[in-house]
Amino acid sequence: MGLQAISLDFWNTLFVESPDAFRFYASRRRQLLAEATRDSGPFTDEEIASACRAEAEAHHEIWRHQHRTLPARKRLARILETLNANLPPARMDELSTAYEEGILERPPLLVEGAREALDQLSAKYKLGIISDVGFSPGRVLRKVMADSGILPIFDSLVFSDEAGCSKPHLEVFKQTASRLAAEPEQIAHIGDLEHTDIVGAKAAGYRAIRFVGVTPIEHGETTLADGLAVAWSEVPAMLESF
């Protein structure tokens, strides 16, 4: 049974952060938080940074072990709890939206060669996204895709905040197969992380390509993937061989 559809990871597979963006986002979020909590504190830069680090570490554990991602509002509530600060609901709404849409100030960029590969793949396969999210939810990542001109070629978009779970949970792969109207064995997933993209895809019955052009495979590391791609130019031919 031949391949009918391809699902793709978003971060570090299809899109990559612009240079120094991570530092920019983190600094901007701390600044927004300091301004919002000025009446409750004020808090020192280190107090705010420490609360943000603690929340990020806790959220990573939830993502890694419970396979879900928390919305920005809930993550902010955890930071405010650490600081023992409170915000009125309207101010909390504003701050949550600012956190969610922060990446639009310095949007991520398509990985080199991805657009050309997508043009080739969309002519032959149905395409879907399976993406875990951070502070930026699916609605914002859709905006990034639309601004990059690639949104119309996708037949399915499954983001962890909307699906209620994150990779490697089987549910996100089941939802994608249903939306792409394909059996799992007719789908190949492309992603950069072994423990989410590759483990999840293989458990769901997909084929899998690990994209290592942004996130290199570590020395001595093993993979369950059916193939490794260093560049997007390698992907169409690799899929043909499945």
Provide DSSP, 137-163: -HHHHHHHHHHTT-GGG-SEEEEHHHH
The arrangement of secondary structure in 5-18+108-240, i.e. its CATH architecture, is 3-Layer(aba) Sandwich (3.40)
Question: Regarding beta strands 126-131 and 156-159, do their DSSP bridges make them parallel or antiparallel, or are they unpaired?
Answer: parallel
Predicted local distance difference test score (pLDDT) of residue 77: 95
Q: How many helical (H) and strand (E) elements, i.e. helices and strands, does the chain have?
A: 10, 8
Mean pLDDT for all residues in the chain: 95
90-103 pLDDT per residue, tens? 999 999 999 999 99
CA 156 – CA 178 distance, rounded (Å)? 9
Predicted local distance difference test score (pLDDT) of residue 19: 87
Q: Burial level of 199, CB count in 10 A (0-12/13-18/19+)?
A: middle
Confidence of residue 219 (pLDDT cuts 50, 70, 90): confident
Element (H, E) at 35: helix 21-36
What pTM was computed for the model?
A: 0.93
Task: Indicate whether 131 pLDDT > 90.
Answer: yes
CA 222 – CA 138 distance, rounded (Å)? 31
Domain ranges of the chain: 5-18+108-240, 21-105
CA 233 – CA 239 distance, rounded (Å)? 11
Confidence of residue 1 (pLDDT cuts 50, 70, 90): low
User: For residue 117, which amino acid is it?
Assistant: A
Structural contact between residues 166 and 132, judged by C-beta atoms closer than 8 angstroms: yes
